[in-house]
Structure 1
């Protein structure tokens, strides 16, 4: 058994030709201290312990392999990006040696590098989820990152188009094929990916609903077809295959193409700061302004947590105020009225 320093600076203990294990440190003095402790203790027992201890590199590889086949492609891609970034930052560390301090240092590093807080929070959630998987697989007794909080972000009110804005878009788009996609998002509140994978089999004209099967939270939902949406759908031909087909037969429109096309449309109409997802906000916001409850809006949007829907709460409050202000009651009493009653 000997001490060895990897080219990345991490110290290892070499057990034999086929076995080595990271000591989880790049500090020479710390590595020598651990190595001496190993030599003084029960040699065979320590080797057995080392054999059982995984590095984060080994665990992350297994974790991503699991995600690759059990999760959506977007989820796997996001998880892969976060875990690789974290591993690259802390080095070849033992799985059971990762602490909240490591994640805190990683977070600070990302902030200094200019990453957005929303992006960093995704990394934090993904990394914590991976360590929860380690607990599930009985590789760790508990998640060492439990209690680590995400970065606080000032919540901006959602951007949305008004009814007047939508009239403007109807004139701008005219017979442009993009008109169908634009107003479909407005009239259903679908997420980008939910609409792209829809086929005409998902459009139920008998029950007058759109079946949303592939959702973010894996819970299917139905969105009622309103009169405007019915008119829009009737104008789309042919009614077979994908609702929004791609250039190659049998494929749907590429997500990036849809995003850029809608973005260009918004910019041309004078809304350069808006994006495709704001059409979902438009759907929810106009419902809120029309008096719908947050619970109804939540069900239509497919939010798993009502707190996500609460970004529209200020709009329902404004609607209630407007409704109450319609009560025009004369509650004033003049001195003359009092004298006459006496």
Structure 2
């Protein structure tokens, strides 16, 4: 039977032998039998033309997505990217890659905007679409060119960080388990996931070090985390509460810190427009304000590129202060010259 359904699948599948002898088994991605039959007929015709007439194979969007997902396995942001791909699926599925042009992408952009999402959200969707099309053109040679993808303007959001007084106010309002994680975040700059899922096997209190494994880091590179006095103090208070995980709540491991209790603590502390991730921004801002060089901050924070830490450069200008006086001598000379010239004019006027 050419058309069939797999157990627990609502879609029809096709199974047939291609002209070159390959066994083809593919999902039609439709629950409609008539549409599935049309898909099978079309695929058989495509494969026949490729084998008998030497036509270049044409690939569909879904084939590109499947290959891209396999090659992107292990990417830290993959789960977030899948959210965008699921939305795009209804608009691009079953389309040939060479039919996806700028006009189509612009239409998809407009449809996404009509749902009330931000420009930033639309851009993240467009970025993954563009990445797949570029891979199809440059690496797989499935298409000859990549259509232009116009990104939407995004307002430059300022770095949100807390003053020491604000941080103390917030910590006082947090429940005990969240306070411990927040203190540790402010002491180390680690991301939420790296804090909540930290294990004792990643900590060496005697050496005052912790480490994040490559598969746990956003940049997929290991991060060495030196522990300052505040971080060590937090860890010692947590020691013995769980055999594996560092941070727990009522004896059970914590998987999420950005909870309702966190948001309620922010309200009580009178702190607005602040996310858990902004604790990392706060840590970086405090470092820069206290003289930590940007290249050192990059290594401490595990950022993959220098441009990521340049966002904090404006918070400290001590390294520029010496250069500010370079024109002081010029200003002094100009002032002296202007004063002398003025006296000469006065003498001439009096004579």
Shorter-chain TM band: 0.7 to 0.9
Once the two structures are superposed, what CA deviation does each residue of 1:88-122 show, in whole Å capped at 9, x if it has no partner? 22453212222233222222222232111221121
Q: Name the residue aligned to 1:63.
A: 68
User: TM-score, with normalisation over the residues of structure 2?
Assistant: 0.71
Q: What aligned pairs does 1:314-325 form with structure 2 within 5 A after superposition?
A: 314-317=314-317
Q: What are structure 2's unaligned runs of at least 5 residues?
A: 1-29, 326-331, 340-351
C-alpha distance in structure 1 between counterparts of 2:178 and 2:322, whole Å: 35
Once the two structures are superposed, what CA deviation does each residue of 1:296-332 show, in whole Å capped at 9, x if it has no partner? 222222111221222212102378669989xxxxx99
Q: Name the residue aligned to 1:159.
A: 160
- Structure 1 position 216, deviation (Å): 0.4
Q: Name the residue aligned to 2:229.
A: 227
* Residue 20 (1) aligns with residue 42 (2): yes
Contact 2:193 2:255 in 1 (8 A): no
Q: 1:59 to 1:168 in 2, by over 3 A?
A: closer
* Residue 188 (1) aligns with residue 193 (2): no
C-alpha distance in structure 2 between counterparts of 1:300 and 1:103, whole Å: 40
Q: What aligned pairs does 1:130-279 form with structure 2 within 5 A after superposition?
A: 130-135=132-137, 138-142=140-144, 144-145=146-147, 148-173=149-174, 176-213=176-213, 214-238=216-240, 240-245=243-248, 252-255=253-256, 257-279=257-279
- Structure 1 position 223, deviation (Å): 1.8
Once the two structures are superposed, what CA deviation does each residue of 1:103-159 show, in whole Å capped at 9, x if it has no partner? 2222222223211122112111211222233246625255514x5353221212211
Match of 2:83 among 78, 81, 98: 81
Q: Name the residue aligned to 1:35.
A: none
- Structure 1 position 211, deviation (Å): 0.6
Q: 1:141 to 1:89 in 2, by over 3 A?
A: closer
C-alpha distance in structure 1 between counterparts of 2:40 and 2:233, whole Å: 69
Aligned residues, how many?
296
Contact 2:112 2:122 in 1 (8 A): yes
Q: What are structure 1's unaligned runs of at least 5 residues?
A: 1-6, 24-37, 326-330, 336-342
Q: 1:66 to 1:324 in 2, by over 3 A?
A: closer
Contact 1:110 1:120 in 2 (8 A): yes
C-alpha distance in structure 2 between counterparts of 1:288 and 1:234, whole Å: 27
C-alpha distance in structure 2 between counterparts of 1:57 and 1:169, whole Å: 47
Match of 2:118 among 113, 116, 119: 116
CA RMSD of aligned residues (A): 3.9
C-alpha distance in structure 2 between counterparts of 1:322 and 1:167, whole Å: 34
- The secondary structure found in structure 2 opposite 1:235 is helix
- The secondary structure found in structure 2 opposite 1:279 is helix
User: TM-score, with normalisation over the residues of structure 1?
Assistant: 0.72
- The secondary structure found in structure 2 opposite 1:177 is helix
- Structure 1 position 282, deviation (Å): 0.6
Once the two structures are superposed, what CA deviation does each residue of 1:48-68 show, in whole Å capped at 9, x if it has no partner? 56782222133324434554x
Match of 1:52 among 57, 72, 87: 57
